[in-house]
Structure 1
Amino acid sequence: MTITQLRAFVYAADSGSFTSAANRLGVSQPTISALIRKLEEHHNLVLFIRTGRRLSLTAAGQELLGWARQIVETSDRADEALFELRGIQRGSVSLGVLRNASFYFLAELVEQFHRARPNVRLKLYGQNSFEVVEGVRDGVLEAGIVVLPVPDEQLEVFPLLQDEVLWTSSHPERVAQPVTMEQIVQNPIVLYDASYSWNDPTRRQLNERAQRRGLQIEPLVEVEYMEAALELASRGIADTMISQAATRSAGFPKNLHCAPFETPLYDTIAVIRRRNSVYSPAIIELIDLVSTILKRAAQPA
């Protein structure tokens, strides 16, 4: 017993005619007759009798009709739901984002997407880039926005934007000119992303530079969030790194001073997805919005 057979049965019962049912389904009248016959043969029961020019249900047909109608209507609702999701009209969509996404695109992304798709629930998992990679690789997240470098086994990586990393201090003399790794390790350091430590992409770049010069970075304090590191730096406790985008935020402490690295250091923001995977329409729209926002932000003022 198939959905097509049940649909033919319901349409024939509603119209009292195989011909009308055939027109509604867009098939020939013999096709409807064959579908009904297979349904009757499956149960070894007669479902229709002819009374004049109109079909009438037998007792077995009357018993089946309620169940068949419920199955057909449920199938129709399921089709409608999937069509709506394909058109991004409702449902939910999840995207992994770098923890500091609020400095780049988060608020504008939510505002624009919600304005266009008010009935779609949006879940943005703001995590360390390393955790976003694990979520995408394990199939928990369809795609992610991360800072490079990240482990890219089983992943496809599409860079979007480079943002310069600066060194910041409340002591202006420490950042009066581009800083070297030798200068950095001479003063107390506070670093954020304590949970992921040197797996964090920016911290990894910093550590690799120090190692190439035979130096070791030993933070005086490690905290989880950039905001906490900036607060400690503003109090003169230690110096820290900061993305250029974050320096333009309203919450950036006014008493902090910044300088680039002697050899410029960059965060590269990128889209990642599992290799050979296919984006859903909602994820495509989200990523297009992120790309547009980042490209606009990168343009000179």
Structure 2
Amino acid sequence: MTLTQLRAFIAAIDDGSFTGAAGRLGIAQPTVSALIRKLEEHHGLPLFIRTGRRLELTAAGSELVGWARQIVESADRADEALVELRGLERGSISLGVLRNANFYFLPDVVETFRRRRPHVQLRLFGQNSFEVVEGVKAGRFEAGIVVLPVPDDELEVFPLLRDEVLWASADPTRVSAPVTVEQVAEGPAVLYDASHSWNDPTRRQLSERAQERGLRIEPVVEVEYLEAALELVRRGIGDTMVSSAVASSAAFPDGICTAPFAEPLFDTIAVIRRANSVMSPAILEVVDLVGAVLRERSAAAARVSASGDVPEAY
């Protein structure tokens, strides 16, 4: 049973003949007859009594008609919904985002998108980049915004922005000069993303640098969220890593100082999608907004650097 066969069946009922159904559907009369014959042969039951000028339904045809109309109408509504989503009028889209998206782009992007497309539901899953990768691969998200590096098998990766990673401490003497990996390994360190630990892209970069020097970074405390780590840093429990976007935000706690790494460390923010997939226009618009916000942030940071001014968070 196919949707085309059911459309021919409904058209024949509504027009009372195969000839009328053919005109309604814009196909030849023999094609309508063949579609309905295949439907009858599939179930081994006649659907019409072919006598007189007008078709009459058999018992089997009468049983099928309600279901057929429901199926055809549902298919038409589904098609309309996809057409409207293609035009960004309504629907729902899902995008995976890095956990600290709020510091980079999330409020500005959501505000702008909602203003432009008030009837499109935007679902943003703020998880660790590692989980976003898994969600994109599994098809739960159309695309994702992540921090590199990530496992890129089955993925296409489009870098957007590089943001420097800093070391943060409540003790100004520990960040009075660029920080070495040796200093980080000596601790104490408070690290976040406990669930994913060294699978987290930024932590992985730091760990690899330590391993190259025969060192091991063992945090005194691991927590799930950046905000919790920063509060512990503020209380002097230990030091942590933060991106420049976090350190320069209004939400960055007072009393914490930062310094770059002696060997500069960067987070690269990128868009990922499944290989050979096509993103919907709605997702493309969101991704374009993310890129625009990140470029503006980068340009603003460059202007501050060129002027010689230092953000208060530093």
TM tier relative to shorter chain: 0.7 to 0.9
Over 3 Å counting, the alpha-carbon distance change for 1:56 and 1:113 in structure 2 is: same
Q: Who is 1:112 aligned against?
A: 112
**1:101, CA displacement in angstroms?**
0.9
SS at match of 2:289: helix
2:282 is aligned to: 282
Once the two structures are TM-superposed, the CA of residue 239 in structure 1 deviates from its matched residue by: 1.8
Structure 1 range deviating more: 191-200 or 275-284? 275-284
Going from structure 1 to structure 2, the CA distance change for 1:135 and 1:28 (only over 3 Å counts) comes to closer
What secondary structure sits across from 2:124 in the alignment? strand
1:31-68 per-position Cα deviation (integer Å, ceiling 9, x unaligned):
556656777787446445555xxx46466677765554
Deviation per CA, 1:100-120: give whole Å up to 9, x if none.
111111122222233333333
1:233-259 Cα deviation digits (max 9, x unpaired): 222232221100001222111221111
- Measure the CA separation in 1 of the matches of 2:112 and 2:229: 31
- Superposition map of 1:156-175 within 5 A: 156-175=156-175
Aligned position for 2:194: 194
Secondary structure (helix, strand or coil) at the match of 2:266 reads: strand
Distance across 2 between alignment mates of 1:128 and 1:238: 22
Per mean C-alpha deviation after superposition, the further-off stretch among 197-206 and 214-223 is 214-223
Q: How does 1:23-62 map to 2 (within 5 A)?
A: 23-29=23-29, 31-32=31-32, 43-44=45-46, 46-47=48-49, 49-50=51-52, 55=54, 57=56
Q: Aligned AA for 1:174?
A: R
Deviations 1:125-145 (A, max 9, x none): 211112222333344433221
Give the Cα separation in 2 of the matches to 1:197 and 1:210.
15
Change (3 A) 1:36 1:191: closer
Aligned to 2:237: 237
Structure 1's 119 and 201: CA in aligned 2 closer, same or farther, altered over 3 A?
A: same
Q: Pick closer, same or farther for the CA change 1:149–1:23 going to 2, 3 Å.
A: same
Instruction: Return the alpha-carbon distance in structure 2 between the equivalents of residues 148 and 39 of structure 1.
Output: 53
1:268 paired residue number:
268
- Distance, in Å, in 2 between the alignment partners of 1:163 and 1:254 is 21
What is the number of equivalent residue pairs in this alignment? 298
Deviations 1:161-185 (A, max 9, x none): 1000111222223222222223334
Give the aligned partner of residue 206 of structure 1.
Answer: 206
Report the AA paired with residue 194 of structure 1.
A
Aligned to 1:123: 123
Partner SS for 2:131: helix
Q: Is the 8 A contact 2:17 2:55 kept in 1?
A: no
CA contact (8 A) 1:97 1:145 kept: yes
| Structure 2 CA distance for aligned equivalents of residues 127 and 79 of structure 1 | 32
2:249 corresponds to 1:249: yes
Q: What's the offset of the Cα at 1:208?
A: 2.0
Q: Counterpart in 1 of 2:152? A: 152
**Are 2:187 and 2:219, in contact at CA under 8 Å, matched by a contact in 1?**
no
With over 3 angstroms needed to count, the CA separation of the structure-2 counterparts of 1:91 and 1:56, relative to structure 1, is same
Unaligned runs of 5+ in 1: none
Distance verdict in 2 for CA 1:46–1:57, change over 3 Å = closer
* TM-score with structure 1 setting the length: 0.83
Distance in 2 between residues matched to 1:131 and 1:45, nearest whole Å: 52
Percentage of identical aligned residues:
66
Amino acid across the alignment from 1:161: L
